[in-house]
Amino acid sequence: MCGIFGIVTQNEQNLGPILVEAARRLTYRGYDSVGAAVISGSRIDLRKDAGRVDEVAEKYHFSDMTGQRGITQLRWATFGVPSQVNAQPHLDSDGDLVGAHNGNVVNNVELRQEFTAEGMTVRSQNDGESCVHAVERYINRGYGFVDAIRAAYNDLQGDYAFVIGRIDDDKLYAIKKGSGLVVGIGEGFTCVSSDLPSILPLTRKVLRLNDGDVVCLSWDSVSLYSVADGSLIAREPEIFTEEMSAVQKGGYAHFMLKEIHEQPQVARELLHLLNRYEDLDRILEAIRGARNLYLIGCGTSYHACLSGSVYFARLAGRAAVPVLAPQFIPQYAPTVGPQDVGIFVSQSGETKDVLNALEHAQKRGMTCFSMANVIGSTLTKITSAWLPLACGYEISVPATKTFTNQVITFLFLANMLRGGGTESLDGLPELMEETIRWTDPQVRALAEDINSWNDLYSLGYGSTYAMALEGALKLKEITYAHCEGMLSTEFKHGPLSAVTDGFPVLFAVGPEDVPLIVSGINEVTCRGGRAIAIGAEDSRLNANASDVITIPPSNPLFAPLLAVIPLQLLSYYMAVGRGCDPDFPRNLSKTLTVD
């Protein structure tokens, strides 16, 4: 999500081409806006707009930009729609400072109000500008630059990294908190970036930053300071030898595996963001007063809606109807009206089936909200309010991190409706990290063992039913094997006839549903089938299932989200074992814009 790059050189030079190339090498992260700034003596040259790198660079003549220091940024919208004013970098009130960020400053709305009250000039809705003003606040109070950044760090809530510079100062400064940030050291320059691809063509000498590091970049040196006490930090750089393609994938073999591993971090960022989201109260109030609540999506997004309906019922005592978008039109659209609320869910915000359903709902006067990962997409523009997923760019066609953040958003809404505090969800990202660590070796072994089968079933019950459907979809998408997802109690009503010796049947198990699932497991094993349970440690599962993929113990609310991770991993490892490309499966597209 977003990408920043800054460079400091010994003398003034044409930095525009360097900044454009750095931006191009970060485009794989996803973006909707691009900007560049160069600093030369007492002058800042800032050029930016919404659009693609090459078109914005050509329109604003980035190639002519000359200076001793430069910053470029690719923005993935979270706060503020894609526009010129919201594009980064940003200036401070007087145009003396310029900076850009990567990540989410979740108290952005409150900070902008504070800055305005203090007499600062706030030009945008974007949280990158809040990073600049947060430093400006302390510069105005007489702080030195490093100490101003340290003080701003305590005001800026969320996960982010930012780079900033000022006129009449030959350095750039940056800080890391949660989001990625690395430093490059070259001959006659230093640079800093949110990711390695923009650095490695310039230098292979890299200094990795940790959370709480403040870095001061001079053309010939790099100094690290502790945000806690301002003390100097000694750290040796390393020589990076990996190929660029591996770097873009974060060292993972495929983007899908990288994005599975990113799920805990994007979940953490989403929870921070939702807790202070400006439209949250309006959405919750509408849901409370709704006659009927509908959750509308397609494919993976529909599975998230199905999971959300369980959370609304269990936590908030609120019935919610999950429905596939095309079916909403004949089945529900003729009956809805202004008393009803719909939440329309799409990863891209451009899914044609979802937009068609939205059109019918709006004609009937229904209150319509949306949930999407692309701010400024059609869906977010034409609904009353939208909920961001804050996943950054998802390159792999099979949705992973966008799915889990959709489910987490529904869990968050249901928890808020019942009056629960958000602190009860804070442990979820850590449990997701544990689940990946625990289950990866288990799943690798299982994938190799069952990969010869071209027919499987994936079963769940209650809160894990949606996860079973999602696991089956992932297996179909990228292994090309047929895997049918269904309710575990329905398996005996016909599909049980498919079971033969060794036939694999997956069971996603919530802790409260073990007795019922054990019954289904035995219906499979007594007919020679291979029953594979995915759930927390439980002696009943160990005693009855053929295999158990063990996930960390948790409360029943988190168990479904943890159970889907090994199903994602299983589909990935089976696809790789079959020689299939999990990132770009045949016949499929990331965004479906046709009926």
For the chain, state the CA radius of gyration: 25
Query: Is 216 one of the annotated active-site residues of the chain?
Result: no
- Is 177 one of the catalytic residues? no
Question: What pLDDT score was predicted for residue 272?
Answer: 87
Residues with Cβ within 8 Å of residue 365, at least 6 apart in sequence: 336, 337, 338
Phi and psi at 593, nearest 5°, equal -110, 20
Cα angle 49, 50, 55 (rounded to 5 degrees) comes to: 80
CATH number of 3-248: 3.60.20.10
* CA 315 to each of CA 70, 155, 181, 423: distance values in angstroms, whole numbers, following the listed order: 50, 33, 39, 15
CB contact burial 376-388 (16+ within 10 A = b; e otherwise): bbbbbebbebbbb
Give the residues across from 550 on adjacent strands: 535
Cα separation, 398 vs 412, in Å, equals: 24
Say which amino acid occupies 269: E
Contacts of 6 by beta carbon, 8 Å cutoff, 6+ apart: 69, 70, 71, 72, 100, 163, 165, 172, 174, 191, 192, 193, 217
Separation CA 178–CA 162 (nearest Å): 11
What is the 3-class SS of 45-102, one letter each residue?
EEEEEECCHHHHHHHCCHHHCEEEEEEEEEECCCCCCCCCCCCCCEECCCCCEEEEEE
Q: Report the distance separating Cα 372 and Cα 349, nearest Å.
A: 5
H or E stretch at 321: strand 321-324
Q: d(Cα 189, Cα 7) in Å, to the nearest integer?
A: 7
Task: Please tell me the predicted confidence (pLDDT) of residue 348.
Answer: 87
Q: Which residues, including other chains, have CB under 8 Å from residue 55's CB and lie 6 or more apart?
A: none
Q: Are 441 and 302 in contact (CB under 8 A)?
A: no
CATH 3.40.50.10490 fits 252-426, yes or no: yes
Q: Do domains 252-426 and 434-595 have the same CATH topology?
A: yes
Report domain extents, the chain: 3-248, 252-426, 434-595
Q: pLDDT value at position 590? A: 62
Catalytic residue among 2, 131, 368, 580: 2
Beta bridge partners of 265: none
pLDDT of 222: 97
pTM: 0.82
In the chain, what are the helix, strand and coil shares in percent, each to the nearest 5?
A: 40, 25, 35
* pLDDT for 245: 66
Give the max Cα distance, the chain.
Answer: 80
For residues 303 and 466, the answer to whether their CB atoms sit within 8 Å is: yes
Structure letter (DSSP) for residue 35:
E
Three-state SS at 420: coil
Q: How many CB atoms lie within 10 A of CB 243?
A: 8
Stretches in the chain below the pLDDT threshold 50: 594
Long-range contact set of residues 380-386: C-beta below 8 Å, sequence gap at least 24: 380/349, 381/81, 382/358, 383/344, 383/358, 384/286, 385/279, 385/282, 385/283, 386/279
pLDDT in the model for residue 244: 66
In order, the DSSP letters of 166-214 are ETT---EEEEEEBS--EEEEETTEEEEESSGGGTTTT-SEEEE--TTEE
Count of C-beta atoms within a 10 Å radius of residue 57: 25
158-166 and 66-75 as β-strands: parallel, antiparallel, unpaired? Answer: unpaired
Provide the token pair at 80.
Answer: 């503020």
Q: How far is CA 293 from the centre of its chain?
A: 26
CATH class given for the domain over 434-595: alpha beta
Report pLDDT for 394: 87
Instruction: Give dist(CA 196, CA 205) in Å, integer.
Output: 11
470 in Cβ contact with 485 (< 8 Å):
yes
Q: How deeply is 65 buried, as exposed, middle or buried, from its count of CB atoms within 10 A (0-12, 13-18, 19+)? A: buried
Please check whether residue 230 is in contact with residue 147, taking contact to mean a CB–CB distance below 8 angstroms.
yes
pLDDT in tens, 62-91: 999 999 999 999 998 888 889 999 999 999
Joined tokens for residue 75: 């923005």
Show contacts of 511-518: CB within 8 Å, 24+ apart: 511/535, 511/536, 511/538, 511/553, 511/554, 511/556, 511/559, 512/462, 512/556, 513/461, 513/462, 513/463, 513/464, 514/538, 514/540, 514/541, 515/540, 516/461, 516/488, 516/489, 517/461, 517/488, 517/541, 518/544
